[in-house]
Every structure is written in C-alpha cells, then in structure tokens.
Structure 1
Amino acid sequence: MNFNIGGPSNLSSSSSSSDEEEEAIMAAPGAMDAEEEEMIAQYGQFQQAMAQYLNQQNNPVRRGGSIPGHIVINRDRESADRRLFYDYFTENPRYNDQMFRRRFRMGRSLFLRIVEKVEARDNYFMQRRDSVGRLGLSALQKITAVFRMLAYGCPADATDEYIKIGESITIESLKRFYRAVVEEFAGEYLRSPNATDVARLLRIGKDRGFPGMLGSLDCMHWKWKNCPTAWAGQYAGRSGSPTIILEAVADYDLWIWHAYFGLSGTNNDINVLEASHLFSNLTQGIAHPAHYVIQGKEYNLSYYLADGIYPKWSTLVQTIHDPRGPKKKYLQ
C-alpha cells in the first residue's frame, strides 16, 4: 500500500481520499493482513500529528513573563519607600542625624549627594512606573540597600525586610552603584595628589605639629569570606581565616589618596610596601617638592607616619616609643 503524503497545503484533499480508501479496505472481509493494519495505524498517527502541528502554527501559545517556580511576593514597595523617607530624609525625620550617621556610616548630606550623582549617572536608579502604572523602586531604596550591604556585610536578601527589595535587584543595584561611583568620582577622589593638594597637606601637617607630613601609612586585612578552598592556605594570615591586604595612605579628613589592594594575608606590611607603587614617582624623580625646617635643618622630602614594622627610611617616620610609668617600661 502506497501513501501520497503532501505538505500542509494538500492535507485536507488527501484526507478525503484516504477516508474512502480506508472504508473500502474495511468493507472487504479478510482483505487486510497484520502488516496492512499496522500501516493504517501508523498513517492515522501521522494524520493526528500533522493536525496538531497545523493547530499550533495557526494558534501560537502566548507565554507570560513569569518564571516557572518563581514566587511572586507583594512587597508593597510604595509604603516601604514612604516609610524610608519619613524615617531618615524628611525635614523632621524620625531618626536624628547621629543615628543616621551610625546606620549609614556617613552624614545625611553626603549620602544625598551620592544619591543625586549616581541617579544622574545611571538611569537604572531613577524611579519609573511599570506596565500597570505602579511606581517602581526609588533611588533611595536601591542605594540604601547597597549601603546596608557595604556597612554591615549583610546578605542581599536581608534588606528585603525593611526596604522591601528583592535579592536579584539588590545585587544588580550594587554592581551598578560601584560602576557609577567610579565613573562619577574617580577624577576627583581616586587619584594621586597634585601640587595644590601636596601644598595643602603640608600646610595642615605643619599646623598640627608635623611639618613635612603627607599622611598616615598602614595596612589592614579584609576578610575573604568566599575564598576558594584551594587558595585558603596562601591567603590565611595571622587571624587564621583567608584575608586580603589593603595598603592605604589617608590624611586628616580621611581622604584615601593611595590604595594598593590584593596581596594575600600571609604577607606583612613590608612585603606589601615593596610590591606597591607608593614611592614610584619618588624613585623616578618626579615627586612634588616639599621644603620645611625642623630644628634648624632643611628637608626636601615629605614623609609618612607609620608604625614600628616599617623600615627606617627617610620618607617614613615611625612612632616614638615613650612609655609612661614603670609598668609600661618593662611590659612594652
């Protein structure tokens, strides 16, 4: 038995002739054997599959935007935005300036300046309406969630309880916040001091009793919570847990104008100093000049205040050991 199978266009014409042929075969007693019955069954299955295919082509399934297994939570973000505003950012907030500084690790005016600059740099932080007209998350909500993570090291989903923001949006806000801050403030704050800055730092150091001082130099360890197990040994420092070292120079107003970050926690301050580029300009002879007099002697190189582990260089001034009392003399 031969079947003339055409495309979707001649399926209807071929179906009528096949029905007549099938009726004629069924009418003849004993005319079909097992092979013919199997072929007829296969042909019926083919017709059913082709009809289903044409139905799908003519009536495509419209899929929604929901993710299978995703739990939709009505967080009432509008009320959370109003509560956040009345708690911290209105003219008479519920929490005063001292509590704001403790919880945000900065003053309210500085925080609002950062929000304004970041929102102008990246429109992701601008509050918009969704397809049904509801207001989305505000810039205050997104950036407050970012600062809670940075200030307290809390996970992304922990900010949902007060700010009513999802974990994925919090992580995306954190990434975009980093990028916007670098793009907006790098030219002013992430740089080495120029001649004007050096003159200002020297003047302030002189007024504070340290003529020729540019700032304080020290290293600090940052805990690497998600350090790979294979690297944990080389990054485990004195605390026993994996850490990464940051070398920084800061002046009186906490302007960190030198930062060298990334060495493993097994290094000490001397190893970090030898690997950093702190004195690269000085070795090339292009450092900014500094002229000051101490006890009648003139100096032309500025220096940094450091602790006792640093080498005795002319550009590093260590702390003076001056114990007060007999107990301090013997125990220090």
Structure 2
Amino acid sequence: MFRRRFRMRQLLFLRIEGAVTAHDSYFIQKTDAVGVRGLSSLQKITAALRMLAYGADEDSVDEYIRISESITIDSLKRFVKAIIEVFGPEYLRRPNTEDTSRLLAFAEQHGFPAEGRGPEVNFSINGHEYKMGYYLADGIYPSWPIFVKNISVPQENVDEVWNTEITLWNKRGGREIQGEAGDDGSLDGLLLPNGLF
C-alpha cells in the first residue's frame, strides 16, 4: 500500500525524510508559544512528494494532508533544495566510466541489448514485412516508426476494441501478441492478451 501511494519503499521514504529533516530545521515539528504542535516533517515532505510524483496542485494537497497552500509551496521549494544539497553529489551527477561499465555489465547479464544491438525482429502485418522491432506506446512518445500507438479517434468498433486492448496491454506491462491482422485490416484471428479475438 505504501509503495503504491508514494511510489517508493517505506525505508527509502524514511531515509529521505531523516536526511532532509537533519539538513533543514524547517522540517522539524515545532511547538508554538501556546503549546500547539505545528506540522510534522512527514506532513511537509508528503505534501512535497505528492506534488512532485502526481503533479498535484496545492489545493488537492491541502485537502489530503490538511496543510495550507503557502506551507505546501514552501515545503516543496525547501524539499527540492534539500534533496539537491544532500543527495546531489552522490545521485544527481553525470555517470562516470565506472558507473557506465557497471550498468552495461548488469544489462548484458540480464539479456538487455548492449551497444545499440538488439535481437533480430521480423513480423508481418497485412502482408507487409517489417524487419525492426516496435514498442506499444501511448501519446507522449514522438511519431517514430518504432512506436506503435493506439488510435486517437476510433472510427469503427474494431478501432475501439483495439484501443481498449492496447491500453490494457500497456497497463499489464505488455505480453507478446500472436497471429496477424487480416488483409482487410480486421483483427480476426489476432490473439490479444485477454483472448477476445
């Protein structure tokens, strides 16, 4: 649950919270002159992370965490500054030769293409032979032949089904599609992940 909500493990979150709090006293929970406790470091850091991770605006963070807009914005600015100052030298630098070698060795051990080489891919759609691989992608990628996108404005029922299938396929992380489309562009015989065709 925590990982889904914060998009990181709880131990990583607590490590970041501890480092940021130690670096900037703004994040330490304080008590005012009347004895009322202020916002905790967890509230301020959660507000900043929600804005960064989800693109949430101050109003939605205010409703979720019960924190004012001005404190949310201050927390975000100070959080980003603290992250750069604390973690910048180790994590926000350009990779060196050692980093690159380690990453390439890891990729090769796990079967990822190295040095721009990938497995040979051949497939046929509507009788047309293709000799390069492709990725099913959504609208954020450029219009390059390697990215196959869903149909933005479906014209027929088949197009709507294809949009649904490609969206579900992307959400599940993708699995191999078997068969090929017919000469008329129909999807008869094409076996998609949920076996509709």
Task: After TM superposition, list the pairs within 5 Å mapping 1:74-223 onto structure 2.
Answer: 99-210=1-112, 213=114
Match of 2:80, SS?
Answer: helix
> How many angstroms does 1:198 deviate by?
2.9
Instruction: Confirm whether residue 330 of structure 1 aligns to residue 140 of structure 2.
Output: no
Question: In structure 2, what residue type is equivalent to 1:126?
Answer: I
Larger Rg: 1
Q: Spell out, residue by residue over 1:198-234, the C-alpha distance to the aligned partner (whole angstroms, 9 max, x if none).
A: 33223212312358x4xxxxxxxxxxxxxxxxxxxxx
Deviations 1:129-185 (A, max 9, x none): 112111100000001111111122121121122311000000000000010000001
Structure 1 residues 174 and 328 mapped into 2: Cα distance closer, same or farther (>3 Å)? farther
Against the structure 1 CA distance between its residues 208 and 142, is the aligned structure 2 distance closer, same or farther, given a 3 Å change threshold?
same
1:124 partner SS: helix
**C-alpha spacing 1:331/1:157, structure 2 compared with 1 (3 Å):** farther
Distance 1:137 1:186 in 2: 26
Q: Could you say what secondary structure the match of 2:128 adopts?
A: helix
CA distance 1:118–1:112, shift in 2 (3 Å):
same
Relative to 1, partners in 2 of residues 1:329 and 1:182: Cα closer, same or farther, differing over 3 Å? farther
- What residue number does 2:145 align with? none
Please say if residues 122 and 180 of structure 1, whose CA atoms lie closer than 8 Å, have aligned partners that are also in contact.
Answer: yes
Q: Unpaired segments of 5 or more residues in structure 2?
A: 131-197
Q: Structure 1 residues 195, 168: CA separation in 2 closer, same or farther (over 3 Å shift)? A: same
Inter-partner Cα distance in structure 2 for 1:167 and 1:198: 42
SS in 2 for 1:165: coil
- Name the counterpart of 1:85: none
> Would the aligned equivalents of 1:323 and 1:329 in 2 still touch at CA under 8 Å?
no
CA distance in 2, matches of 1:331, 1:210: 25
Which amino acid in 2 is paired with 1:194?
N
SS of aligned partner of 2:125: helix
Specify the alignment match of 1:91 in structure 2: none
1:330 partner letter = H
- Aligned 8 A contact 2:122 2:129 in 1: no
Compute the RMSD of aligned alpha carbons.
2.2
Separation (CA, whole Å) in 2 of partners of 1:207 and 1:329: 36
Secondary structure in 2 aligned to 1:127? coil
Quick one: which amino acid aligns to residue 125 of structure 2? Answer: K
Q: TM-score, normalised by structure 1?
A: 0.36
Unmatched 5+ stretches in structure 1: 1-98, 214-302, 304-316
